[in-house]
Structure 1
């Protein structure tokens, strides 16, 4: 008898208007959306950085974007999660949310524009004013996609979100590359944001129209704004912790250092989302469904932790070892200074996936106020360690992310344990197994850059060989160490492989023969 709890992807739907689609299928569409965006953004960043923009130009845009992103917490205003947790999310609720989204987008655009000149003077970079103005314009278009995408996600219609995200990412890439090639420098990236927002709005409205209207109810507006205000304060605190690194490094070390730092951070984040973040968008609606059914969330959470540890930890260990050849191959020798920064940030990423959903689950379970205070401590630790590191140098700033990551675990671990009810022995076994898998996956690459070739001479063939051997070592380690996620990984692989293999004529005929024999 198997007493292992069913995975979140196998949970049955409820009559809450959340949709009845298979969550594994939704996960595959979410993965397709994430991977298509990753591919476009990755290729664009490589081409722009290698052929068109210098580190100081990337740093200039990074500072402008970080400024806007801190303020952009009022863009969504908690509407995505409000609609995700609403019992019905009827058309009246959608209409009220759309009006609020438009209102706060206008306020956000005005706020960014008001900050543009002071920020430009603070950094001594007049071009920041124009870049922030373009970014402000892009935010005016965002509300027309926020509510439709939230409704598509609520219904687990990740095919729709794929179309929205992929079309937006494609338009952004085309615009950025075209304008960068024409010599528009950092401004080309800001224009790309406008193109992306416009296309996302058109596609989202075509798939799931959400229109503003009259006859609004004051009580319902107050309810949404009350929820959103708590979320906005929370995300303002979180945004400061997440977005200030570029601002702090830019002020203390200059725009070139900021460009190198942001590129290292971005590459680690992109790999993280490539290998694990694709299915992250299905967790909130899935856990909402489990909560509605009154199920114990602890066993499901343990499986999420195991999946992240089995995938992200080995990927980040491999990236840390191969940071220099990866940077040189992708961006060229002009970006070599980003290699040690990438290694530090990749190691730090392992800390941040040790306790996934640290914001989603408290919000889902109604602990928004307590989460805010935990997040304040989180933000203070992030900013404090970063200032201390950046005052020394850009390498120390990147290394400070490891110190912050360890402290981050200490901040959230006990509270999430009490909130979700996971078992510490199970998580500790998962961590130990994940560390073993990560070590095994990185060993071939470590041998390659230590005994076979130097990091700067590894080349494409050596990089591919190291990654391939690391992948084989990962499969063996998952099996030999009996990692807790091995069954879920195998199940997802089968779910993905069976439809693909069934398209092969020879295999389809064999399946038909087998079915005939069974009958």
Structure 2
């Protein structure tokens, strides 16, 4: 069940990534970097504001042994109440924020974002129930529909000359779609949600206080340095860092986000069944590292080609930023596992403290570096991410004791596989110093990397080799079924 859940979550991420790339590539060629920077600033402010909603997160439903009507209605009531307060506050402050950044259009942008955040509140309990049931197929359908509507709206309005506000309208269209699809495909009758109820508010707050605080710190770390960058330098600098971060985030979107969406319910299930948590933890690290490390480093290696293909020649200044961020990303793997693992073990407080300490350290470093420009902000990740890694290992070790030797043994095969995956592309770039086609060079490097990766899995006998063999057998069986079907039809 866990393997199927991961596959469905991965499918959702692949579809979302394709849509995101279409939006990224299209809008980068329609709007100027300054206009994109303004949109990024508006979205960042809205994200920070609505992250406060996690203090009353609907995810407390995932951890409950049983879901009753009171829990459902309390969850929706608190989500709507909190979202209303945030939306009103954001709307009232929109004018002041717009004047602070010297961009009058930002005021209307934030008003639309406030409405979008309030609209999507009704979907949160349904999404939590679907995650609790490991119904990632349904979630994939819902979120793909949302991404399509949001992306299409953004591209269309940008092409029609709406400028940065296109992103806000896209956000609102996606929120309406999310609310509609969630209510339509809810596994629980909607009438169980509708009556206002606050009887379980203490339970919601007990679960959400740490998660909400942790997410708030995470969002602040992700957005505040960019907000400082936009205020002290220019909106173009914000766009440059944000788009570079988006390109480096592709492995995260494909691998890490898919994992994170099902990690907490899957790990919680492992804890309930009494499985060996240390073995599970090392297994997760091995799987993630062998997927994430080669992908992240390939982004850095192929940065000129990727920037040219996705963003266009006018974004050439993003190449060094992409390379720096992709290299520093190798330290990110342990941090992504810590939160879901500690939550699954029932240590919400430690999950919060781990996130708080690492995020505060990282946010402080990034904010200080943002005073010196985009390159300095990117380089600061070589300090911030290793610190987050150390904090993650320290907190996990408190509840899942492990030796340094065991940790190295779990990660060493992934490092070897990564070297095999990079060998082919490095040789190709060395022999072809002046490639004629960015797309052809990228495609050839990707094929060589995949061949090297598979060879590395076999040579090291990496645990993930089992997954590739299962996928190969499944693909072969489907191919045989298709061949028999065509033969019968003929």
Task: Using structure 2 for the length normalisation, give the TM-score.
Answer: 0.93
Unmatched segments (≥5 aa) in structure 1: 1-21, 511-519
Equivalent residue number for residue 132 of structure 1: 110
CA distance in 1, matches of 2:134, 2:477: 20
Unmatched segments (≥5 aa) in structure 2: none
CA distance in 2, matches of 1:262, 1:448: 29
Q: What are the residue-to-residue correspondences of 1:480-499 with 2, within 5 Å?
A: 480-491=459-470, 493-494=471-472, 496-497=474-475
* 1:119 equivalent in alignment to 2:97: yes
SS of alignment partner, residue 162 of structure 2: coil
SS of alignment partner, residue 338 of structure 2: coil
Q: Is the 8 Å Cα contact of residues 61 and 189 (structure 1) preserved in structure 2?
A: yes
Q: Is the 8 Å Cα contact of residues 430 and 483 (structure 1) preserved in structure 2?
A: no
Q: Is the 8 Å Cα contact of residues 78 and 231 (structure 1) preserved in structure 2?
A: no
For residues 318-337 of structure 1, give each alpha carbon's deviation from its aligned partner in whole angstroms, at most 9, with x where no partner exists: 11110111101221111111
The change in CA–CA distance for 1:30 and 1:375 in structure 2 (over 3 A counts) is closer
Of 126-135 and 208-217, the range deviating more from structure 2: 208-217
* 1:372 equivalent in alignment to 2:352: yes
From 121, 128, 140, give the equivalent of 1:143: 121
Q: What are the residue-to-residue correspondences of 1:462-477 with 2, within 5 Å?
A: 462-477=441-456
Deviation at 1:225, TM superposition (A): 2.6
Task: Using structure 1 for the length normalisation, give the TM-score.
Answer: 0.88
CA distance in 2, matches of 1:160, 1:154: 12
Deviation at 1:241, TM superposition (A): 1.4
Equivalent residue number for residue 272 of structure 1: 252
CA distance in 2, matches of 1:182, 1:340: 32
From 446, 453, 461, give the equivalent of 2:433: 453
Equivalent residue number for residue 240 of structure 2: 260
* 1:102 equivalent in alignment to 2:76: no
Equivalent residue number for residue 427 of structure 1: 407
Equivalent residue number for residue 81 of structure 1: 59
CA distance in 2, matches of 1:407, 1:49: 33
Q: Is the 8 Å Cα contact of residues 335 and 388 (structure 2) preserved in structure 1?
A: no
Deviation at 1:498, TM superposition (A): 5.4
CA distance in 1, matches of 2:54, 2:368: 32
How many residues align? The count is 485
From 302, 312, 319, give the equivalent of 1:339: 319
CA distance in 1, matches of 2:416, 2:42: 40
Of 227-236 and 181-190, the range deviating more from structure 2: 227-236
Equivalent residue number for residue 26 of structure 1: 5
Equivalent residue number for residue 406 of structure 1: 386
Q: Is the 8 Å Cα contact of residues 98 and 210 (structure 1) preserved in structure 2?
A: no
For residues 175-222 of structure 1, give each alpha carbon's deviation from its aligned partner in whole angstroms, at most 9, with x where no partner exists: 01110000011100110000001011111101115454447353x122
Equivalent residue number for residue 330 of structure 1: 310
Equivalent residue number for residue 267 of structure 2: 287
CA distance in 1, matches of 2:88, 2:402: 44
CA distance in 1, matches of 2:444, 2:383: 32
CA distance in 2, matches of 1:268, 1:55: 18
Q: Give the alignment's Cα RMSD to 1 decimal.
A: 2.2
Equivalent residue number for residue 207 of structure 1: 185
